[in-house]
Amino acid sequence: MRSAERVEQLFRLIRMSARRVSQAAPARIGYGMPDALVALGLAPGVNQQAFQSMLGSLMGTMPMAPAAMPEMAMGAQQRTGPVMPFGFGW
């Protein structure tokens, strides 16, 4: 169901996942480039619980648990995704 609250939560999720694009101009404003892996809680080293609970509320379901993702439940290595140029990869 569409609502202003859901739109605000989605916008907050995008803002929280943003990475700075350039270190050259610190006076520039903005949140940076959104990172899909961070937004979905798949990137290592991020506060996954906060992102997953926000994503869960957007999807109308409970936050994802490792049992809900079988490829991660058995201790398999997490994919980190491609390394991006210009400082917004990890």
Residue 87 pLDDT > 80, yes or no? no
SS3 category, 50 = helix
Distance, CA of 81 to CA of 90 (rounded, Å) = 9
pTM of the model: 0.41
Q: What are the residue ranges spanned by the domains of the chain?
A: 4-60
Strands 18-19 and 33-34: antiparallel
Residue 73: predicted pLDDT: 47
First to last CA, the chain: 35
Residue 63: predicted pLDDT: 43
* 87 touches 23 (CB < 8 A): yes
Residue 1: predicted pLDDT: 66
Q: What is the DSSP secondary-structure string of 63-80?
A: PP-GGGSHHHHT-PPPP-
Mean pLDDT for the chain?
Answer: 67
pLDDT-above-70 percentage for the chain = 41
Q: Which two tokens stand for residue 50?
A: 């906060």
- pLDDT confidence of 13, banded at 50, 70, 90? confident
